[in-house]
Amino acid sequence: MNISRSVLSPNFDMRKSDISALVLHYTGMEDFASAFSRLCDSGVASPVSAHYVIDARGCIFGLVEERHRAWHAGVSSWRGRNDINDLSIGIELVNKGHEFGYHHFSDAQMSSLLWLSRRIVTEYGISNAWILGHSDIAFERKQDPGELFDWGYLARGGVGFVPCLATDDEAGDCADKVMLGASDCALVLDELLHRIGYACTGKNMVAAFQRRYRQSKIDNVADFECVSLARALLAGLGEW
């Protein structure tokens, strides 16, 4: 695939850390032109950028060189690191987002994303624990790439890991082991989500986890299904 670098964003600075994370976003603007302009505008009060933008046709635009620090994550945190911009590569997918009419990502867009992500993950040795959505690292502010993003497609292509829900028998066994009652789920899930990498407890932390790992039901309520998924995720990451 080709990457267009006909227009570069001036919104970047120098890294102080090695690259160890990949962060995926949606643009959250009404159209491609608006998003592209915003990512290249240095005259606004809070300039932003990303290393790559992928439009609905699957065309990839490189705006910032990977060796530079793009400004895509903002105030963010993961596994004790706060300046996620400094250690990550950011990819924006053109999508109107929740504010302007959220919709599914196109097949061409996802195919290009997989190709690009696989190259980045391989080149920098990025672990599954550090393949992130913007909502993972800034859950009080962000929802992207959102519940319509197909993380399973990436995982099947070798980028990231998606846990499966436990069977009824497995769920029962786990419930017996940890003796979970309804009131205990919030405490147990809070601990698990912190182990996974989410920052301090916040009102939207469970919703962020659900938006990525249980997209069929996003109610921000800690329940045993979420606990089971969180345990499976840690096991898949080799950390359980």
For residues 227 and 190, give the distance between their C-alpha atoms in angstroms, rounded to a whole number: 9
Residue 170 falls in the annotated catalytic set = no
Q: How far apart are the first and last CA of the chain?
A: 38
- Say if CB 188 and CB 178 are below 8 A apart: yes
Task: Kindly name the residue from 30, 65, 66, 92 that is annotated as catalytic.
Answer: 92
Q: How many residues does the chain have?
A: 240
What is the distance, to the nearest Å, from the Cα of residue 218 to the centroid of all Cα atoms in its chain? 16
Residue whose token pair is 């829900």:
165
Contacts of 98 (CB under 8 A, 6+ apart): 28, 143, 146
- In 3D space, the residue among 63, 90, 55 whose CA is nearest the CA of residue 74 turns out to be 90
Contacts of 68 (CB under 8 A, 6+ apart): 12, 13, 14, 15
Catalytic site positions: 92
